[in-house]
Structure 1
Amino acid sequence: MTTDKTIDIHGDELTLEQYSAVVHDRVPVQLSPKAIQKMSSSKAHVDHLVKEEQTVYGVTTGFGKFSDHFITSEQSHELQLNLIKSHACGVGEPLPEEIVRGMMLLRVNALAKGYSGISPRTVQALISLLNQQIHPIIPSQGSLGASGDLAPLAHMCLPLLGLGEVSFRGQIRPSIQVLNEVGLEPIQLEPKEGLALINGTQMMCSLLTEAIIQARTLLLSADIISALTLEALQGIPHAFHPLLQQVRGHQGQITTAKNMLALLDGSELTTQPAEKRVQDAYSLRCIPQVHGASKDAYHYSMHVVETEMNAVTDNPLIFPEIGQVISGGNFHGQPLALVADFLKIALAEIANISERRTERLVNPQLSGLPAFLIQNGGLHSGYMILQYVAASLVSENKVLCHPASVDSIPSSANQEDHVSMGSIGARKCLEVIENTKKVLAIEYLCAAQALEFTTKKCGRGSHIAYQLLRESLPPLTEDREGYKDIEISTKLLQHNTLVNEVTRKVDLQL
């Protein structure tokens, strides 16, 4: 049973909320009795296969191209140890602790389903590392995203064996030192267990789960910030009329238009068609269509990620109830690879349209406001260069959005001849999210500054957003270090403060 202090792991019920509690809030986990029973049953079946010396991939054979090499029962322990050591060859910067925690949690959850032939004792050893916040050092590069995230997951497993390095209490140390310090013993892997631990999609899934969590904040923030911009430019909310959205029918568009009208409710700054202009530019008029399409992409991506969070992704799989071992390709990351590319494109578009709104705010020919939103321009440059930064970030996003999933390079002597490259797409997705966050933060700054040149009242939701920023940052009256303004604005997005404050008073939907 799940309590406020511990989350039970069943294998098929892990939610995004539970994931966030374990990964971000460090809530401990434990195996459910049902999971322990199912794992014990599949492990007993593996032991029987080894005893009978039946030919089973990765249990009594080598791996990949070596699958035709028979391994005796006396060699089975060494086979699993060698697998982890040889596959721990990743390169690049270490993954952040949150991603590592996500990998550990997701691997435990997949193994808890009871189809992997691994003992509860081994899974409990991984849980002990997670609960005691002993985090393996896992290089970020080296996975092809098929046969799973082999190299990263091998690095995750090294500390179980007293090998590799871990991050513990803010220091990177040899794992054996930390295990001795906390009273944990290295384990010996049983037949199939090394393969069960590393044959999966948990790195790319952890990266994408984090992307889903952050994307929710950005999509709602984009609506809030764009409402401020629309007011600063005296835009026309008639384009958000419900009938207009309904006749097209896309749910994201309908939801976004509803959000915009709620945020702008009571505004004295918006205008009617032909009052100042007949129609707004696309970056204002088409907010429901653009933001809405990204919301629809988000919901599809979230569905795929939530499915993968509770999936069995190793090979072969053990089905003791029918006495079969079935080899297949559940480790192939194609579902996640496609989602990684789809989601990062969707979020890059949020940045693209945001930067165009920022340009409209700072350009006096488009805004009717003081150039670059500063009085005494010339002596002061105002927010001129913030738009440069936004333009640089959206350009960088365009490079990052080249799809990783369209590429494949054969491996293991052409035995593994199609791979997903999902881990690359997932890493790039988080980079796009980080850039998009800063682009929105820049629009937030410029929209709030533009409102300094009017005394009219903002809408119900946009007023909350304006006040929140002004609690931390005064209006720009003379030039100051722009990076500090961007940092303050970004933190309001990053820590969900903006979304939380606005949604307390305004019902926003995603």
Structure 2
Amino acid sequence: MTDDADADADAAADSVVVDGESLTPEDIEHVARRGAPVHVPESARERVRESRERIVDIVESGQAVYGVNTGFGELVQERIARDDIETLQQNLVRSHAAGTGRELDDEEVRAMLVTRLNALVKGYSGVRERIVDVLAGMLNEGVHPVVKAKGSLGASGDLAPLAHLALVLTGEGEATVDGERLSGDEALRRKNLEPVTLRAKEGLGLINGTQLTVGLASLVVCDAERAIRAADIAGAMTTEATMGTTASSHASIQRVRPHPGQSESAENVRRLTRNSEIVESHRNCDRVQDAYSIRCLPQVHGAVRDSIRHLREAVETELNSATDNPLVFAAEEADERASGTETAAVLSGGNFHGQPLALRLDYATSGLSELASISERRIDRMLNPNIQEEYLPPFLTEGSGLRSGYMIAQYTAADLVSTNRSHGRPSTDSIPVSGNQEDHVSMSAQSAYIAREVVESTLCVVGIELACGAQALDFIEGQTPGIGTQAAYGTVRAHLEHLDDDRPIHRDMEVMTEILRSDALFENVERALDTTLA
């Protein structure tokens, strides 16, 4: 290995490597939620240096190039003198920091920082290596810009939120450091970082792109995949608790309608309930068919699983894409339609447009809403005295009447399901801006915010089903659940006691949501399955 490669390997050992090529949603979660440091390898730094040299070449040539020495948006025809180029970039960041609403939390800001850094190190934005160093330093030292949530249209990217972030690099704006709110200049210097004076193209390079959307979408992917895995487990538990059959998950049924998600969810139910004495005890019972929320679990869960997979594909592509405009290429990569010089070419396009993410985020939002909906219906089947099995007491509590048990948990689930359904689908909306120059926008940030809210609600609903499922299994005597469902039951009971006397059950919901977020449920279930079936 070369010295640079050795140094990269050592630095990356405990870090997330930000190379412009390989970032994943899990990497975003690791940096955003767990505070993992980042490392930019030498290969990426070399691309940044080469890209910057091309911008310098263009500036010295004196050619008019958008984003380098012209105005922005509708003001694109305004030529900027060379002496004013640095002022142009600083003014751009200041004027675009026009957000409002709530302030993003630290994990949202960190997701933006790491995704912006990764886009820049692809080497098509023309920024200096110093910009890369300061962004990486802010992540590694915990300097979190104060960013307003509202103001992005998802084209030209997430301009306003990214401008609030970029202000701090220049020593303006505000940031939090170790829980203290400081001016941008003081926040940087507190962590031995120097503010940056923006040069040609750098202001635009920092604010033009989809990094708010893709950062949040990465977290949505991670949470949504937890929700669907948890829903398979909860649904399998409910199937046992209501004396349902797993015949609807038979492999032959899935084989003749081979949607990938459907087959995967059906296989999960079969694995989770393997060796279940409960399922075996009523294999030849008089009930011909279960309700749809039990019987159609593979079809509904599978469709949701496919929608999340579709979102993941777009997110993984977007994370490692150049979404700036204009983009800087070597001259041989472009043609006569590009502006530039003999060695460098600049192409103006629309990679900042968030539609590839917005549409899939809205699709995933619809899927997650349905996942919460079918889970709520299974909750009702365990609680409702008009339809539940005779061995289950009303609302899963002994002495019902005196006690309400989990009655109101279903109310909460119903509220969350109804709220999920009430959200619009922003990707179908557009309001022209910038004097109608930017006449079609994606609203991708709004799609991301809604998806975040819906996945949070869905995790809560599925957590309620798991709590009710464990409570219902307590009333089945003499028969053990399946390998996977028994491990899930044990995980719930390790954190949540059987509901005997009434208690404030909001704590039960909070505990269950934390279990899902910690991945403890999945780890325990898989460990039990691997050990028993090895």
Bucket of the pairwise TM-score, normalised by the shorter protein = over 0.9
Aligned partner of 2:4 in structure 1 is: none
Contact 1:372 1:382 in 2 (8 A): yes
Q: Does 1:397 align with 2:420?
A: yes
Offset of residue 175 of structure 1: 1.9
Q: Does 1:25 align with 2:48?
A: no
**3-state SS of the aligned residue for 2:175?**
strand
Offset of residue 292 of structure 1: 0.7
Q: Does 1:155 align with 2:164?
A: yes
Aligned partner of 1:234 in structure 2 is: 243
**3-state SS of the aligned residue for 2:176?**
strand
1:361 to 382, 399, 420: 382
**3-state SS of the aligned residue for 1:5?**
coil
Aligned partner of 1:345 in structure 2 is: 366
Offset of residue 247 of structure 1: 0.5
Q: Does 1:490 align with 2:513?
A: yes
Aligned counterparts, 1:267-306, within 5 A: 267-270=276-279, 275-306=285-316
Q: Does 1:312 align with 2:318?
A: no
Q: Does 1:68 align with 2:77?
A: yes
Aligned partner of 1:94 in structure 2 is: 103
Aligned counterparts, 1:86-125, within 5 A: 86-125=95-134
Once the two structures are superposed, residues 43-67 of structure 1 have per-residue CA deviations (whole angstroms, 9 ceiling, x without a partner) of 1221122222211011110000000
Contact 1:237 1:272 in 2 (8 A): no
Aligned partner of 1:468 in structure 2 is: 491
**3-state SS of the aligned residue for 2:125?**
coil
Which whole-Å CA distance do the structure 2 matches of 1:240 and 1:118 have between them?
Answer: 54
Offset of residue 321 of structure 1: 4.1
Return 5+ residue gaps in structure 2 as ranges: 1-7, 333-343
Which whole-Å CA distance do the structure 1 matches of 2:17 and 2:302 have between them?
Answer: 36
Once the two structures are superposed, residues 436-457 of structure 1 have per-residue CA deviations (whole angstroms, 9 ceiling, x without a partner) of 0111111111111111211121
For 1:121, give the aligned amino acid: R
Aligned partner of 2:402 in structure 1 is: 379
Aligned partner of 1:479 in structure 2 is: 502
Aligned length: 507
Offset of residue 214 of structure 1: 0.9
Which whole-Å CA distance do the structure 1 matches of 2:277 and 2:286 have between them?
Answer: 14
Further displaced range: 464-473 or 426-435: 464-473
For 1:505, give the aligned amino acid: A
Offset of residue 171 of structure 1: 1.8
Which whole-Å CA distance do the structure 2 matches of 1:230 and 1:30 have between them?
Answer: 47
Contact 1:201 1:331 in 2 (8 A): yes
For 2:468, give the aligned amino acid: C
Which whole-Å CA distance do the structure 2 matches of 1:341 and 1:4 have between them?
Answer: 37
Aligned partner of 1:458 in structure 2 is: 481
Once the two structures are superposed, residues 149-205 of structure 1 have per-residue CA deviations (whole angstroms, 9 ceiling, x without a partner) of 000000111111111111110122222222222222211101000001100000000
Further displaced range: 499-508 or 358-367: 499-508
Offset of residue 386 of structure 1: 0.8
Aligned partner of 2:86 in structure 1 is: 77
Contact 1:262 1:507 in 2 (8 A): no
Contact 2:323 2:352 in 1 (8 A): yes
Which whole-Å CA distance do the structure 1 matches of 2:276 and 2:16 have between them?
Answer: 45
Which whole-Å CA distance do the structure 1 matches of 2:274 and 2:259 have between them?
Answer: 23
Which whole-Å CA distance do the structure 1 matches of 2:267 and 2:189 have between them?
Answer: 57
Q: Structure 1 pair 7/498, CA: closer, same or farther in 2 (3 Å)? A: closer
Q: Structure 1 pair 273/471, CA: closer, same or farther in 2 (3 Å)? A: closer
1:41 to 29, 43, 50: 50
For 1:42, give the aligned amino acid: S
For 2:496, give the aligned amino acid: L
Q: Structure 1 pair 186/79, CA: closer, same or farther in 2 (3 Å)? A: same
**3-state SS of the aligned residue for 1:56?**
coil
Offset of residue 507 of structure 1: 6.0
Which whole-Å CA distance do the structure 2 matches of 1:183 and 1:472 have between them?
Answer: 43
Q: Does 1:332 align with 2:356?
A: no
Offset of residue 243 of structure 1: 0.5
Offset of residue 274 of structure 1: 5.8
Aligned partner of 2:252 in structure 1 is: 243
Once the two structures are superposed, residues 197-230 of structure 1 have per-residue CA deviations (whole angstroms, 9 ceiling, x without a partner) of 1000000000100001111111111111111111
Runs of 4+ in 1 over 6 A off after TM superposition: none
For 2:445, give the aligned amino acid: S
**3-state SS of the aligned residue for 1:481?**
coil
Aligned counterparts, 1:156-235, within 5 A: 156-235=165-244
Which whole-Å CA distance do the structure 2 matches of 1:252 and 1:54 have between them?
Answer: 53
For 2:433, give the aligned amino acid: S
Which whole-Å CA distance do the structure 2 matches of 1:164 and 1:22 have between them?
Answer: 23
Which whole-Å CA distance do the structure 1 matches of 2:214 and 2:530 have between them?
Answer: 30
Offset of residue 138 of structure 1: 0.8
**3-state SS of the aligned residue for 1:85?**
helix
Offset of residue 26 of structure 1: 2.3
**3-state SS of the aligned residue for 2:182?**
strand
Offset of residue 75 of structure 1: 0.6
Aligned partner of 2:340 in structure 1 is: none
For 1:98, give the aligned amino acid: E
Aligned partner of 1:132 in structure 2 is: 141
Contact 1:238 1:272 in 2 (8 A): no
Return 5+ residue gaps in structure 1 as ranges: none
For 2:419, give the aligned amino acid: E
Give the TM-score taking structure 1 as reference length: 0.97
Offset of residue 364 of structure 1: 1.8
For 2:517, give the aligned amino acid: Q
Which whole-Å CA distance do the structure 2 matches of 1:8 and 1:252 have between them?
Answer: 31
Which whole-Å CA distance do the structure 2 matches of 1:239 and 1:350 have between them?
Answer: 18
Once the two structures are superposed, residues 350-375 of structure 1 have per-residue CA deviations (whole angstroms, 9 ceiling, x without a partner) of 10000000011101221122111112
Once the two structures are superposed, residues 74-104 of structure 1 have per-residue CA deviations (whole angstroms, 9 ceiling, x without a partner) of 1100000000000011111111211211111
Q: Does 1:56 align with 2:65?
A: yes
**3-state SS of the aligned residue for 2:268?**
helix
Which whole-Å CA distance do the structure 1 matches of 2:181 and 2:212 have between them?
Answer: 20
**3-state SS of the aligned residue for 1:312?**
coil
RMSD of Structure 2 on Structure 1 (CA): 1.4
Identity of aligned residues (%): 44
